[in-house]
């Protein structure tokens, strides 16, 4: 039996970060910048960002290793006795804002939090935010998510898909952020070994879920109307990240390096007062056909 | 003695809204759109927005009259016995995002909240967010704010100036939003009559504070570098509105009409990873000379 440990998870996250940056960089033709930053408490971070690429307007693949001397109250709700204990956390977050409006914005995150052999958990998932969706892409995305979950239980995908729909929701707009994916938090099942195996499965499916979509759509011709709609919809992304996302809120409040926390922000965004898509347009179809909870796999196959 | 009443305040706010829209529209050459919306509870709102003008990229001057059947807990901290009582509130908010980076972004807000003759308060103020500030403009802005306050006490401007500096602060960036102005909340002094007179004085000084600045700077030539810096700094504005501002948070959470709540959002904004201004540049001067609390009137005269 493997004891819960940060070392193994860290190694997996760092390798995953390299793979993701290599593959995305190869598609784009531009490399991700490499930085290594140390924190005063002995932690470290490796933010890797690519801006103004050929296909990627902005992509950030960040790794963080946090070491804390006193477990925050918010993190110890499940076990209040541990409050004030030292802890460690490692996390990888991925965000891709493509240039082409036919390529969806993509987000993935995996995290591990350890106090001792009894108090630890994983969290994470991946979700997709298209502007001009193709049913094939959404189906591929959700099938890949389902594949990542299948070895860990027949109902797991469905549970994490609903969790994702619930989390990535803009209450103030009564709108989902996109077409979802999978999401899990406070994940502590059976053993560290089996939980970590599940998290690796999710991580291993991040690139297979996204790469075929960007490959298929990155060279589609588009005009200023499509670009403007993408920028308008990116406003929703900014609203979600700044006003709703718990990870960003925690980052803003906890004094983490702000440029890493906000590396997920869209490179450009616009807001138009009371704008609505024209009835029957491709833009209206996004709202009508995609921005509502659907059982994608059952409905699209 | 005038009893606290919504009617008088509403009339003043509606007239002020007209004046502001007329004057800004005259400068721009484009008119503000007029809308009248009624709420299910008997309230109403008049959002007035101008987009894509000659000088104003986006301006929103909104009036709202809210009628509530049950005082929210958050609003009755000063007098918990009133919780659940019916209440009324009227508010005017003004935001101007100019096209020219030499013209500052401008924000003003006034509000009145009434339960009964004992439980009421005003709130509001105005603040300025320049990109390429001119000392003359900042001095004019703060002198006008001081003039608005002077008849109501020799120390009032100084108190409300500090309040403004404290409120319009991005803790996560360790940066003020701009060069401030005046801010007050939960304002219930001596009598309704004298409090309302003070609020009128603030409202009457909104246009005198801003119009000379926009007139002086709106035709200055600028290039793409200046425009890009303005869009980058507008990212901070989006961060403040979505992640910090209490009015926006309340609006997002309370289910108010979202397009009115977010009419303050910048029409365009950009985020660049870990960007820093070049040492000695005009952009660096904004941070060094203006984005810190200063006693503008004493230092600039």
Residue B261 sits at the chain A interface (C-beta within 8 Å): yes
Interface test with A, best of B272, B275, B276 (most A CBs within 10 A): B272
End-to-end CA distance of chain A: give it in Å, rounded: 41
Q: Which of B134, B133, B130 has its CA nearest to residue B106?
A: B130
Closest chain A C-alpha to B232 CA, distance in angstroms: 9
Burial class (CB in 10 A: 0-12, 13-18, 19+), A27: middle
Question: Which tens digits make up the pLDDT trace of B22-75?
Answer: 999 999 999 999 999 998 888 999 999 999 999 999 999 999 999 988 876 666
Cα Rg of chain B (Å, integer): 19
Closest chain A C-alpha to B98 CA, distance in angstroms: 14
A-chain residue closest to B268, CA distance = A270
Q: Which chain A residues are Cβ-neighbours of B268 within 8 angstroms?
A: 231, 268-270
Residue B258 sits at the chain A interface (C-beta within 8 Å): yes
B-chain residue closest to A35, CA distance = B274
Closest chain A C-alpha to B42 CA, distance in angstroms: 22
Q: Is residue B1 part of a domain?
A: no
Sign for the pseudo-dihedral over CA of B99, B102, B103, B107: positive
Residue B269 sits at the chain A interface (C-beta within 8 Å): yes
Residue B274 sits at the chain A interface (C-beta within 8 Å): yes
Sign for the pseudo-dihedral over CA of B261, B265, B271, B274: negative
pLDDT at position A247: 86
Residue A172 sits at the chain B interface (C-beta within 8 Å): yes
Contacts of A150 (CB under 8 A, 6+ apart): A156, A157
**φ, ψ dihedrals at A291, nearest 5°:** -90, 55
Identified catalytic residue from B107, B121, B140, B205? B107
Segment-wise mean pLDDT, segments of 10 residues, chain A, 301 residues: 94 98 98 93 93 98 91 67 86 98 98 90 97 98 98 97 98 96 93 96 98 98 98 98 90 85 97 98 98 94 88
Reading across the β-sheet that carries A56-68, which strands appear in turn?
A: A37-38, A44-51, A56-68, A87-98, A105-114, A120-129, A180-187
SS3 state at A291: coil
A:B CB pairs within 8 Å: 81
Q: Bridge-partner residues for A44, per DSSP?
A: A38, A65
Contacts of B49 (CB under 8 A, 6+ apart): A273, A274, B32, B33, B58, B59, B60, B61, B62, B263
Name the residue among A60, A242, A249 with its Cβ closest to that of B239: A242
Judge whether residue B297 has pLDDT over 70: yes
CA distances in angstroms from A211 to A25, A28, A131, A140, A288, listed in the order given? 12, 12, 17, 11, 26
pLDDT at position A76: 61
Contacts of A218 (CB under 8 A, 6+ apart): A27, A55, A98, A100, A102, A103
Among A residues 146-165, those touching chain B with beta carbons less than 8 Å apart: none
Q: Is residue B219 part of a domain?
A: yes
Instruction: Specify whether B121 is catalytic.
Output: no
Task: Identify the H or E element spanning B24.
Answer: helix B6-28
Residue A246 sits at the chain B interface (C-beta within 8 Å): no
Judge: B267–A270 Cβ closer than 8 Å, yes or no. yes
Interface test with B, best of A30, A255, A273, A275 (most B CBs within 10 A): A273
| Across B73-101, average pLDDT | 85
Interface test with B, best of A269, A270, A272, A275 (most B CBs within 10 A): A269
Q: How many CB atoms lie within 10 A of CB A143?
A: 16
CA atoms of B252 and B250, how far apart (whole Å)? 6
Closest chain B C-alpha to A173 CA, distance in angstroms: 7
Q: Which chain A residues are Cβ-neighbours of B274 within 8 angstroms?
A: 49, 259
Q: Is residue A277 part of a domain?
A: yes
Q: What is the CATH number of the domain that holds A51?
A: 3.40.1500.10
Q: Is residue A270 part of a domain?
A: yes
Among A residues 31-90, those touching chain B with beta carbons less than 8 Å apart: 47, 49, 51, 58, 60
pLDDT at position A71: 75
Judge: A252–B238 Cβ closer than 8 Å, yes or no. no
Residue B266 sits at the chain A interface (C-beta within 8 Å): yes
Q: Is residue A1 part of a domain?
A: no
Judge contact between A202 and A124, C-beta under 8 A. yes
Domain region containing B77: 6-300
Contacts of A46 (CB under 8 A, 6+ apart): A14, A17, A34, A35, A36, A37, A62, A63, A64
End-to-end CA distance of chain B: give it in Å, rounded: 41
Q: Which of B17, B23, B194 has its CA nearest to residue B109?
A: B17
ipTM: 0.94
Q: What six digits make up the tokens of A212?
A: 């075929």
Q: What six digits make up the tokens of A9?
A: 């998870």
Question: Which tens digits make up the pLDDT trace of B182-203?
Answer: 999 999 988 999 999 999 999 9
Spacing of C-alpha B139 from chain mean position = 18
pLDDT at position A41: 82
Closest chain A C-alpha to B264 CA, distance in angstroms: 9
State the pLDDT confidence band at B254, using cuts at 50, 70 and 90: confident
Tally of structural domains, chain A:
1
Cα Rg of chain A (Å, integer): 19
pLDDT at position B113: 93
Q: Is residue B88 part of a domain?
A: yes
Name the residue among B251, B266, B272 with its Cβ closest to that of A271: B266
Residue A261 sits at the chain B interface (C-beta within 8 Å): yes
pLDDT at position B77: 63
A-chain residue closest to B272, CA distance = A267
State the pLDDT confidence band at B9, using cuts at 50, 70 and 90: very high
Q: How many CB atoms lie within 10 A of CB B111?
A: 21
Judge contact between A125 and A138, C-beta under 8 A. no
Average pLDDT taken over every residue of chain B: 94
CA distances in angstroms from A173 to A25, A238, A240, A259, listed in the order given? 35, 13, 10, 27
Name the residue among A60, A231, A269 with its Cβ closest to that of B273: A60
Q: Is residue A256 part of a domain?
A: yes
Task: Identify the H or E element spanning A282.
Answer: helix A282-285
Q: What six digits make up the tokens of B114?
A: 């009434």
Closest chain A C-alpha to B147 CA, distance in angstroms: 34
Judge: A271–B267 Cβ closer than 8 Å, yes or no. yes
């Amino acid at each position: 039996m493997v004891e819960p440990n940060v070392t193994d998870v860290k190694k997996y996250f760092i390798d995953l970060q390299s793979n993701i940056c290599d593959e995305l960089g190869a598609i784009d033709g531009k490399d991700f910048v490499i930085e290594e930053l140390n924190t005063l408490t002995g932690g470290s971070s490796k933010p890797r960002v690519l801006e103004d690429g050929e296909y990627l307007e902005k992509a950030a693949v960040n790794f963080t290793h946090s070491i804390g001397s006193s477990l925050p109250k918010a993190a110890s709700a499940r076990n209040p006795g541990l409050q004030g204990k030292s802890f460690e956390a490692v996390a990888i977050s991925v965000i891709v804002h493509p240039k082409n409006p036919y390529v969806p914005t993509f987000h993935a995150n995996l995290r591990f939090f350890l106090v001792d052999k009894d108090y630890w958990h994983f969290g994470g998932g991946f979700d997709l935010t298209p502007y001009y969706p193709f049913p094939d892409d959404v189906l591929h995305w959700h099938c890949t998510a389902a594949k990542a979950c299948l070895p860990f239980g027949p109902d797991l995908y469905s549970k994490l898909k609903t969790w994702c729909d619930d989390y990535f929701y803009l209450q103030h707009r009564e709108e989902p952020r996109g077409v979802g994916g999978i999401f899990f938090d406070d994940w502590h099942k059976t053993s560290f070994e089996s939980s970590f195996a599940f998290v690796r499965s999710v991580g291993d499916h991040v690139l297979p879920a996204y790469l075929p979509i960007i490959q298929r759509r990155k060279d589609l011709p588009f005009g200023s109307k499509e670009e403007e709609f993408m920028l308008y919809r990116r406003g929703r992304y900014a609203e979600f990240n700044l006003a709703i996302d718990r990870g960003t809120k925690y980052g803003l409040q906890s004094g983490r390096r702000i440029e890493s926390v906000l590396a997920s922000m869209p490179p450009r965004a616009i807001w138009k007062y009371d704008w609505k898509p024209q009835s029957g347009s491709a833009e209206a179809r996004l709202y009508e056909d995609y921005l509502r909870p659907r059982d994608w796999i059952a409905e699209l196959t």
